[in-house]
């Protein structure tokens, strides 16, 4: 067990849950995480982002958090999935509409399961990303560096966190994204 490990998580949703609209769901999920022993160290603002793929549903509300948890990455992922299910999350379609999405973005400077497998997933062509789901935990999230909807809120809570494989900070990864993708992420 890793004591007091710091984690970065991305939060999102675009469907109403029992807690209410997506912003209310994200707030309620953060409270549930905290009640379950997760230490909230910093929470970003909430951002509206276009649904992907375009036309697949309502816009998303996204956020990020820097948290502490007294357990390993796999245990923490289980906590995240448990909270998702409490808000009606059903894993039926990859990148589909959802009430709540809690992604484990990073676990400090850990690279799991190893650098070679991480590289395979990070370099997976876009058409394969839609149909492939890893059967093990991959951290940092293999497409973190490509997603403005993750990096913009993450810059609120961990701008100086450095990707252990790419050697770039959150701020630097964000600067490498096309301006149009950054502009699509609008603070609420």
Angle at 108 between CA 102 and CA 112, to 5 degrees: 75
Identify the pLDDT of residue 128: 76
87 contacts 17 by C-beta, under 8 angstroms: yes
Assess whether pLDDT exceeds 70 at residue 51: yes
Catalytic residues: 89, 98, 101, 103
**How confident is the model over 84-129, as pLDDT tens digits?**
999 986 655 545 567 899 999 999 999 999 999 999 989 988 777 6
Q: What's the CATH code, domain 5-187?
A: 3.30.70.560
Percent of the chain with pLDDT over 70: 91
DSSP-derived secondary structure for 141-182: -TTGGG-HHHHHHHHHH-TT-B-TTT--BHHHHHHHS-HHHH
Pairing, β 47-49 against β 186-187: antiparallel
Indicate the pTM of the whole model. 0.92
Identify the pLDDT of residue 130: 66
Domain boundaries, the chain: 5-187
């Amino acid at each position: 067990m890793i004591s007091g490990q710091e984690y970065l998580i991305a939060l999102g949703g675009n469907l109403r849950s029992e807690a209410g609209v997506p912003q209310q769901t994200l707030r309620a999920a953060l409270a549930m995480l905290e009640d379950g022993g997760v230490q909230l160290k910093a929470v970003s603002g909430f951002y509206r982002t276009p649904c992907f793929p375009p036309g697949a549903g309502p816009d998303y509300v996204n956020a990020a958090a820097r948290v502490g948890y007294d357990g390993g990455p796999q245990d923490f992922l289980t906590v995240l999935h448990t909270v998702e299910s409490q808000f009606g999350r059903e894993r039926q379609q990859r990148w589909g509409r959802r009430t709540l999405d809690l992604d484990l973005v990073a676990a400090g400077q850990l690279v799991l399961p190893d650098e070679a497998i991480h590289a395979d997933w990070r370099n997976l062509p876009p058409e394969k990303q839609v149909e492939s789901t890893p059967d093990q935990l991959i951290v940092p999230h293999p497409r973190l560096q490509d997603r403005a909807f993750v990096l913009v809120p993450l810059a609120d809570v961990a701008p100086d966190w450095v990707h252990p494989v790419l050697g770039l900070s959150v701020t630097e990864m964000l600067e490498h994204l096309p301006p149009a993708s950054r502009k699509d992420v609008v603070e609420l």
